[in-house]
Structure 1
Amino acid sequence: MNDITHDLRFSPLAADDETTVGQWLRLLADSAGDVPEAAPPCTADMTGSLRFPPPATKLEDWVVRHDGHGGRVVGALRLALPDGAGVARVDQLLVHPQLRRRGIGRALYERAADIAAGHGRSALAATVVEALPGGPARDPGPAAFAAAMGAERSAVPAGVHQWLDLGAHDPLADGVPAVPEGYSLVTWGTITPDEYAVRVSVLERSLGDESLGDEAFDEEQEVETSYAREFETMRVGRGRRAYHTGVVHDASGRLAGYTSVSKTTGNPEYALQGMTVVHRAHRGHRLGRLLKLANLEYVLRHEPGVRLIETANAEDNDAMIAVNAAMGFVPYDRWVFWAGAVGSGD
């Protein structure tokens, strides 16, 4: 198709530019059919994301307009720049469905590479959705585009994207399993209680693999500056609600694991099953399954309209994928990591 890049104009996407933000939201809505099963874009969540980045991460948001289409936004780029990393992550590279394969995607990628180099990053990384054998068809275009840009598939294990349809399967039909002796369950909402905030941070950042006796790891953090509090700032700023269930080791009084489900303001039927982590010293008691089922019951008490829950796990995380499958989660596609080198910013 015809290349139309000579009429493109790039500009930063600012949260207080209501006209441009509105056009960006329309672009997101028009592109929602790329993954039909996904929740529709939530206005509060997306506009909030312009003001509240993830912890320890700078976001560069850009849009591109085309003079031949009324100067309207026809593409968008979000580049995430985690502190201390050598890689910039492409979280969004989007072209309006009616204007694809006309050079806009390449122009956005080149802009991303320039920004990354300017921030001293040596590579761009991105996640590409691919079909699973026997699963729903997925557009092969994104993977072909990444390869055309010189990127390569990463050796990092892909993520398996799973959905649970509560209308088709009830994981709570047999109730919540009994809590093993020596443990107790606790629940909390969007904001983690002070007594658990640091421990949640340590469990999440280490995936439960830090040394059991390493008390100094906990003491290095303050509650108000912990990762949990930083993440909550983003979550609240984006209008999200969350539900947590934790398991406490009674003898030590320490949080041994927890799980989280969150949801946006605008999609009452959809929820996201997030982190589930159990400290390595407490594995083997089926605490992961217990946490997920107990938390699902907790979620549905407060959000009875939820019908669809999505989650993802690294494809080599056999244990958690098995827990999800037992609950009725069905694999839909794979999230494959790609990376490409960028030039220096000199």
Structure 2
Amino acid sequence: MNDIAHELRFVPLTADDAPVLAAWLRLTTESADDVPLSAAPPCAADLAGSVRFAPPGTALVGEAAYRDGELIGAIRLVLPDGAPVAVVDQLLVDPALRRQGVGTALAVRARELAAAHGRTALVADLVQALPGGPDRDGGPAAFAAAVGGAPAAGPEGIHQWLDLDRHDPLADGVPEVPAGYRLVTWGTITPDRFAVAVSELGQTLGSSDPQSWDTSPEAIRTSHVRRYERMRVGRGRRAYHAGVVHEETGELAGFTSVSKTTGNPEHALQGMTVVGRDHRGHRLGRLLKLANLAHVREYEPSVRLIETANADDNHPMIALNEAMGFVPQERLVSWEAPVS
């Protein structure tokens, strides 16, 4: 490695250091991928909020790299609770200074930070072109290999986009709700009566027994969805949900979520869609996604592009998305490198 590492000064990235935060926001915007449909444009409110509000069950550690008083790079790691890994959320280099050793110096610093927090591996999701799909830059994967990384075992991901200007999944309307169920919708904050059920469905992908749901006030207050909502509100995001209630039992049989940032009126993210195991086989997933799309378009008429990602072995959901008009754009491949 060249001597550039000795020229860098690392400053913690915190919400209370306004000059560093502003410089980091500029760098993030300048470093954004300009490949169409690879990612939504950066949103300043979302990024600034992310420094203060980590996802539930994680901690964030970030640093800005300065040389001669100028910010030229940044790193940020996500530290999942109880896991031996550090997820590389960002490893940014000023576009004008790439291929000069800055990225390698940042990778070394990322390993130091991960080791200081007791982690044994760095992991990151990298983009790879799909056969017949749009070209994707192979530079990030080449860099990961150069600093000791390799593709990890396990399923990969498929990143899909829906362009509502090209295809309208609601052309035939929302399907009828099956007998014995009723449709419900809500916004960013989940109603108390569904909070624990949404948490349980989301964390177990619908495999848990509904009778195990604790509906006490304390369980609702501390549920996973409440912690997730705190992060979402802190980052200035809005969310739209649709759910189905089983009439006989009154339990929430499934739900889906779409969220969006403040600064990207045309972009939205299709989140989790999950149906409880006792309620599958009624095409509730399709109903939920279409009903929620109608919900989103009612309140966010500017939304044009919706992205989503699924493990590539989740064939039913990928097929449902494609039937709605989602187009596969790229593969997401998990890479791993030892901290040592």
TM-score normalized by structure 1?
Answer: 0.94
Contact 1:9-1:66 at 8 Å conserved across structures: yes
* Map 1:184-263 → 2, pairs under 5 A: 184-212=182-210, 215-218=211-214, 222-263=219-260
Give the SS at the match of 1:135.
coil
Corresponding letter in the other structure for 1:25? L
- 1:156 Cα offset (Å): 2.0
Determine the C-alpha separation between the residues in 1 that align with 2:208 and 2:48. Answer: 36
Give the SS at the match of 2:184.
strand
Give the SS at the match of 1:132.
coil
* Map 1:258-277 → 2, pairs under 5 A: 258-277=255-274
- Residue by residue over 1:122-164, the C-alpha shift from the partner in whole angstroms, topping out at 9 and shown as x without a partner, is 1111111111111111110111111112122111211100110
For 2:48, the equivalent position in structure 1 comes to 47
Determine the C-alpha separation between the residues in 2 that align with 1:304 and 1:110. Answer: 45
- Residue by residue over 1:214-263, the C-alpha shift from the partner in whole angstroms, topping out at 9 and shown as x without a partner, is x2354697111100000000000000000000011111111111000000
Contact 2:72-2:93 at 8 Å conserved across structures: yes
- Farther off after superposition, 71-80 or 29-38: 29-38
For 1:65, the equivalent position in structure 2 comes to 66
Determine the C-alpha separation between the residues in 1 that align with 2:97 and 2:332. Answer: 25
Contact 1:258-1:291 at 8 Å conserved across structures: yes
For 1:295, the equivalent position in structure 2 comes to 292
Dislocated runs of 4+, deviation >4 Å: none
- Farther off after superposition, 128-137 or 219-228: 219-228
Contact 1:260-1:273 at 8 Å conserved across structures: yes
Contact 1:202-1:218 at 8 Å conserved across structures: no
Determine the C-alpha separation between the residues in 2 that align with 1:248 and 1:280. Answer: 14
Contact 2:159-2:330 at 8 Å conserved across structures: yes
- Farther off after superposition, 144-153 or 226-235: 144-153
- Residue by residue over 1:154-207, the C-alpha shift from the partner in whole angstroms, topping out at 9 and shown as x without a partner, is 112111001100001000000011111111110000000000000000011001
Contact 1:3-1:102 at 8 Å conserved across structures: no
5+ residue gaps, structure 2: none
Corresponding letter in the other structure for 1:266? G
Give the SS at the match of 1:175.
coil
Give the SS at the match of 2:52.
coil
For 2:108, the equivalent position in structure 1 comes to 110
- 1:93 Cα offset (Å): 1.0
Give the SS at the match of 2:33.
helix
1:317 to 314, 318, 325: 314
For 2:6, the equivalent position in structure 1 comes to 6
* Map 1:100-179 → 2, pairs under 5 A: 100-179=98-177
- Farther off after superposition, 246-255 or 150-159: 150-159
Contact 2:125-2:334 at 8 Å conserved across structures: yes
- Farther off after superposition, 33-42 or 198-207: 33-42
Give the SS at the match of 1:32.
coil
Determine the C-alpha separation between the residues in 2 that align with 1:320 and 1:33. Answer: 27
For 1:307, the equivalent position in structure 2 comes to 304
Determine the C-alpha separation between the residues in 1 that align with 2:111 and 2:7. Answer: 20
Corresponding letter in the other structure for 2:61? E
5+ residue gaps, structure 1: none
Contact 1:5-1:102 at 8 Å conserved across structures: no
Does 1:29 pair with 2:25? no
Query: Pairwise CA RMSD of aligned residues?
Result: 1.5
Contact 2:4-2:105 at 8 Å conserved across structures: no
- Farther off after superposition, 228-237 or 55-64: 55-64
Give the SS at the match of 2:112.
helix
Give the SS at the match of 1:222.
helix
Determine the C-alpha separation between the residues in 2 that align with 1:297 and 1:5. Answer: 52
Identity %: 64
TM-score normalized by structure 2?
Answer: 0.96
